[in-house]
Structure 1
Amino acid sequence: MAEQTRARASVEAVFREEYGRLLATLVRRFGDLDLAEEVASDALEVALVRWPVDGVPTKPGAWLVTTARRRAVDRLRRDQTYAARLAVLQVEADRADPAPPADADGGLPDERLQLFFTCAHPALPEEDRGALTLRCLAGLTTPEVARAYLVPAATMAQRIVRAKKKIRLARIPFRVPGADELPGRLPGVLRVLYSIFTEGYVASAGPDLQRPDVAEEAIRLTRILHRLLPEEGEVTGLLALMLLIHARREARTGSGGELVLLADQDRGRWDRAMIDEGAGLVVTALTGRPAGQYGVQAAIAALHDEAPDVPGTDWPQIVALYDVLRTLAPSPIVELNRAVAVAMQDGPEAGLELLDTLAGDAQLRGHHPYPAARAELLARLGRNTEAAVAYRDALELAGTDPERDHLRVRLREVERGD
């Protein structure tokens, strides 16, 4: 039984890693997202039966694609009406996009990027675009996508179904858009890439704080996009931001997987080569063009990475950058992060005053960093009873085991009056 459990975990891990590539390949081949999802799931079921017996194939991705394609062909043979409809859609798509564009190296861009841009089509409501892409391409579950957007899982499920139906009914082609279409779709693609990275940096749920494979996949896709669009400052800024944050990954957890806060991290474990690359990209992103939200966020990350320690961080500059960011991309999360920076600059009372002005925000009520930040500032002010209440609120909302473990420790400390 234990061996079967390990085998199943191995199959699911491989499938999750390959899912986005598999789905994009199937969509490109058959032009139907629902069919692609169905046969991808079929391929997983076959793998769960075969791989524990035969072993994981040398090229698991190719095995899954072959198996899924066979299932799709079988399904289309059984349903000739469905097959005829797909054939019409494929002909229309080929007429609109007879040959996928080549990238700078002469090869084809990653098929997942084509699906990213399809899911960012302006015919889809903005709130549906990122949700669909995260679910289909990043392999995130519906609850994980819901956490990324701070909405209930049922609401997110409805959005995903609605978006897929719209793609089907509107016959939206699966292709990278032309140059004249890019400006309207690029911001949505960047939001999705950053959401995928965020899920890797801080998992929405589970036993581990981080999912490095997910973060690295987001970085890989963003590098492809940067190669395709090197003059787009926000693409450069997003790549810089990811690198500067991901550079700290080794120091963010202890030997047992426990959460290590920024103030306690061994900065000698940070990836200096990645920091240097990210810092160079920040300069490029912010030079000779209007500042964009990702470039500004990357500049904030660079200040953290270049500081010798938390007290030696340039907090006034970080607050000033958050002031810029709140005009470029206002959001409750920006206000939360700015309040924490103000607390580091002007003291916990100043930060707490700002946090309290956000108490009525519906999004932040379901976002555990908000009560956790309040708890920390209350504890620094010696208001331990109030801090304990806030830590309990954060504990109910935290998604990963390391986050919950850390909050339990802090709760015990304030309850003891430490």
Structure 2
Amino acid sequence: MHLRGTNQEFGRPYNRRIVLETIRLSAPISRSEIAQQVGLTVQTVSTITRELEEQGFVRGARETPKGRGHPPTTLTLNADGGFAIGLHVTPIGVEAALINLAGDVVARRGRTMAPVDPEATFALCGDLVREIRALRPAGRMLGIGMAMPGPMGVESMSFVGPTTLEGWKDVDIAARLEAVTGLPAFVGVDLAAAALGERLYGEGRAYRDFYYLYFGVGLGGTHVQEGNAVRGARGNAGEIGHIPLVPGGDLCPCGNRGCLERYVSLDALDRRLKATDPEAVVERALADGSPVIDTWIEEVAPLLRAAVTIIENLFDPETILIGGLMPDHLLERLLAAAQPFAHSIAEYTDRTAPRVLLTHEGQDAVLRGAAALAVSGLLSPRFGLLFAGEEERAPRDPIMTPTSTKPEVAA
């Protein structure tokens, strides 16, 4: 992403975010280097970085002298300069995590519940957020992000079946979340949030263009191109789990037959286990070495192999990252059984990255990504434009908080 500021005074909130993002991406970095990168004057950058230091977002330090004269001050991100809360709502419960600006999981809480209906869920979210905020009472809370199963707003697919949340039709999720937490709220599909978490904090940092295949209760994915998740017209891009791959196969709640996630997902494995033992649990079956799991892996590995080929031929990614809620050792077995992969456009001669790479972020990828929805929302340059021209009248920009509420600094 090419970041450029504006030297017009009304653009101060916008420029703050441009400078802050440049520091996050390029630290340690000097003020003159920032000015050169973003096209602002050194004086403008100095004014903005002084504000950001006063607010606790960045820290300055002089480099070790290497000759005559004073070395320039370089700036780095202060990880505890702000926090966001990530929520992950699934058909089996709610997970919450407090994330700092560096993407570290400071604390996490979770509750299982059934059914996951809106009223109970928002009440629980309010409790979890209050509990987590109490751990950093003086910390600046930038906002809250909620990741949910997708797709969203599709009548035949969003509110039916074991991989979705039933009873959530027409719920104004962001407004309800803001009401119970008092924080700016951002909502996204879990697979896109997971991809964002991987891009910012996980294995995806090494790649500008990758596909993230996410094993949740169901199966989905997101293409990350030039560092940005491809969301689609309504934010639902990536529903690879609903590609019909088995002609005349099992009926899917979406109304089609043979959808990929009816075979390759945690829900599919759970249904397979419960067909022989209604009390079966995936984790216990793994620990006991259930032969049902061996049979399942053997049967669905060809479908995963086909999915890899489809993804590569459609998106031409540098690599496919695979992760999610499925236990790592189970994913490793499934991935091994799916090899060798079929021929695709990924077989170019100067390839250096593996075609498929197993990540180990698991649940943290979604929680970090959910929190990043809030951080990127409030700290994005586009969001800063909402406050353009208001600096003289009132400091409404939420990242310019009064001194009395500056964030705490970890010892």
* TM-score bucket (shorter structure): under 0.3
Q: TM (normalized to structure 1)?
A: 0.26
Q: Highest relative contact order (Cα 8 Å, sep 6+), 1 or 2?
A: 2
Q: TM (normalized to structure 2)?
A: 0.26
Larger strand proportion of the pair: 2
